[in-house]
Amino acid sequence: MARILLGVTGGIAAYKSLEFVRLATAREHAVRVIQTPASTRFVGRASFEALTGAPTLVGDHDADPLRGAFPGEQIDAHDPITHLALAAKADLFLIAPASANTIAKLAHGFADSLLTSSALAARCPVVLAPAMNNLMYEHPATQSNIARLESRGVQVITPAVGRLASRDEHGIGRLPEPQQLLEACEQRLSAARGLFDGLRVLVTAGGTREPIDDVRFIGNRSSGKMGLALAQAALARGAEVTLIEANVALASPAGLRVIHAPTAAEMQRACEEGLPRCEVLLMAAAVADFRPKARFDGKIKKQQLPGLTLDLEPTPDILARLAGARQPRQTIVGFAAEHGERALALAQQKLQTKELDAIVVNDISKPGIGFESDANEVTIITSSWQQAVAKASKRSVAERILDAVARLRSEGEASR
């Protein structure tokens, strides 16, 4: 049971927020509602009041008869500043539907209403469910505002595709069903509740380089952004994070232990040393499958050789070895970049043969995601369930991967 602060903004889908409140209170969550003035033209505050059993607030100077308390809580003798009190008490702040206008304000830190001031003061997880016409949603301004919010750790629920409010219109922009919103909130709440607190998480990032001579190498296109995003997200959830990075040109976030492992052999050594000291291993680095059998000393001169044939040998399968050496209660997640329609089937095979707890696969044939990009679109596969994560910033995808780890670990606890 949690305290959910619900922000409702001015959009057609505001009627769905009523159903959200009904479902959330049926699950015994205590809900308070803040509406923007525009939203009251779509749904009246009385309906929310009836369903939450608490006053709905709209104006930033409205007196709150509950003085910031949630339903079922004692009312404080002191009358606090409403937006600060509600934000401080909430376990989660859901803004659904989130209009293009409010998203823009939040992205730029506006505090011109009770809802936006509360969002700025909130330190609990903030979940945003945009809902609008597809043209508004797809506009670069909205997309960049969403990306900005995601980069600050706000969880954005991708709208559904389907019939839109105006006649004969179809596209992305529908508010997901209230039940899905509630599930997203509950997942976020359980992830935020200490599951990662003090958990030792080992993350690998980047791409290994296998030397040919002192100058040249065989490498790959991994930038390390996905691994860094995972490290950042785990750190924000209170984990103790070690990052093993291979040739990452980006600055790593403060507060984590960084080990440099530029080649597959060094990566293997660092992972084998780190494995006994972690509960979660996230293998996001792209490790070379082959390396030159011999390394030339110095620099091979073009004039010295008529041509060059490299003899390659396979590198050890680090992930399979680590999975084989795992201790009980360790969670191992592999990553696979696969190409084309067979991507999921190939990842499924890897999951089984390498005995992983989960594999995160992206289809590298899709444009604008994966290597070097700031966005990703993945499917998380476990032996008992599968979750598609729509295209979003790598930070946001990292949050969903950590939610999946939390789910795996709590399912593991439950089955023990």
Residues catalogued as catalytic:
220
Contacts of 387 (CB under 8 A, 6+ apart): 379, 380, 400, 404
Q: Which residue has the tokens 């809902």?
A: 131
DSSP assignment of 245-309 equals EES--SPPPTTSEEEE--SHHHHHHHHHHHGGG-SEEEE-SB--SEEESS--SS---GGG-SS--
Q: Across-strand partners of 205?
A: 245
d(CA 129, CA 137): 11
Task: Closer to ligand FMN by CB, 84 or 136: give it.
Answer: 136
Tell the smallest beta-carbon distance from residue 391 to ligand FMN (Å): 20
Tell the smallest beta-carbon distance from residue 114 to ligand FMN (Å): 10
Tell the smallest beta-carbon distance from residue 50 to ligand FMN (Å): 21
Closest residue to ligand FMN, Cβ-based? 11
Return the closest-CA partner of residue 31 out of 96, 117, 99.
Answer: 96
Q: In what order do the strands lie in the sheet with 126-130?
A: 30-35, 3-8, 92-98, 126-130, 155-156
> How far is the CA of 167 from the CAs of 47, 102, 404, in angstroms?
27, 24, 38
d(CA 226, CA 395): 8
Task: Closer to ligand FMN by CB, 122 or 280: give it.
Answer: 122
Task: Closer to ligand FMN by CB, 136 or 265: give it.
Answer: 136
Cβ 92 vs Cβ 20: under 8 Å: no
Tell the smallest beta-carbon distance from residue 266 to ligand FMN (Å): 50
Tell the smallest beta-carbon distance from residue 98 to ligand FMN (Å): 8
d(CA 352, CA 397): 23
Tell the smallest beta-carbon distance from residue 260 to ligand FMN (Å): 46
What number of other Cβ atoms are within 10 A of residue 167's Cβ?
A: 6
Task: Closer to ligand FMN by CB, 165 or 312: give it.
Answer: 165
Task: Closer to ligand FMN by CB, 39 or 252: give it.
Answer: 39
Return the closest-CA partner of residue 99 out of 175, 194, 162, 196.
Answer: 175
d(CA 404, CA 381): 9
Q: Which residues bind ligand FMN (CB under 6 A)?
A: 9-13, 36, 38-39, 99-102, 131-132, 136
Cβ 349 vs Cβ 361: under 8 Å: no
d(CA 333, CA 409): 12
Task: Closer to ligand FMN by CB, 21 or 164: give it.
Answer: 164
d(CA 351, CA 12): 43
Tell the smallest beta-carbon distance from residue 96 to ligand FMN (Å): 11
Q: Dihedral, CA atoms, 117, 119, 121, 126, nearest 10 degrees?
A: 180
The DSSP bridge pattern shows strands 257-260 and 280-283 to be unpaired
Return the closest-CA partner of residue 190 out of 410, 416, 414.
Answer: 410
Tell the smallest beta-carbon distance from residue 132 to ligand FMN (Å): 3
Task: Closer to ligand FMN by CB, 13 or 228: give it.
Answer: 13
Task: Closer to ligand FMN by CB, 156 or 351: give it.
Answer: 156
